[in-house]
Amino acid sequence: MRTLLTGQVRYVAIGASDAVGVGAGDPVMGSWPARVAALLPPGSAYRNVAVSGSLADQARVEQLPSAVREQPTVVTIWLAVNDLNAEVAPSAHAAALGAIVDALVRDTPARIFVGTVPDLRAVPAYAEADQAALIARIGAYNAGIAALGAKLAGRVVVVDLFTGSAELTSQLTVSPDGFHPSDAGYSLIAARFAEAMRTNGIPLAR
């Protein structure tokens, strides 16, 4: 394990409704970034700049400037499902996400953790979707995210939310709206981000 940070951790979360905590019993404390932030060492700082409904390119305009101003040492990004639902081309999503990451690499000292898209086929909101087309589109999005992580491997870590994602998309982990995570789902997502962060030297409690 590489120890990359000492002293205070300054954590900023960029994202959409899941980062805001829609579907949680207590959205402020129950979102997955808030659950990760609860594991930060004493003296750390946390700011969530996520905006519900954001596409990646909207986040580049609306969230990125605030994130950079915070000069974070750690950033998490999970921006893909809204783009997928809006039928944004995988190449356009990758370009927008890449612009966010490139700016963070250039203008902050942050290690950046980017989540992939889970297998959404079991999520009730996608029950009527063309399942073959859905999984192909998810694969294309995730390939773009993986390429971004490979290009900037010294600063960017891809958090795999796809492998073994049945536990993230079961009826027990999806909220009553059939789309957003429940508290159980947010806990699992936070655990995946937290483990990736610990593996890469971020000093989180267990």
pLDDT tens by residue, 62-75 = 999 999 999 999 99
CATH 3.30.67.10 fits 10-199, yes or no: no
Between these two residues, 144 and 26, which has the higher pLDDT value? 144
> What order of strands is seen across the sheet that includes strand 74-78?
45-48, 10-15, 74-78, 111-115, 156-159
Between these two residues, 146 and 23, which has the higher pLDDT value? 146
Distance CA 129, CA 123 (A): 10
pLDDT of the residue at 28: 85
pLDDT of the residue at 192: 95
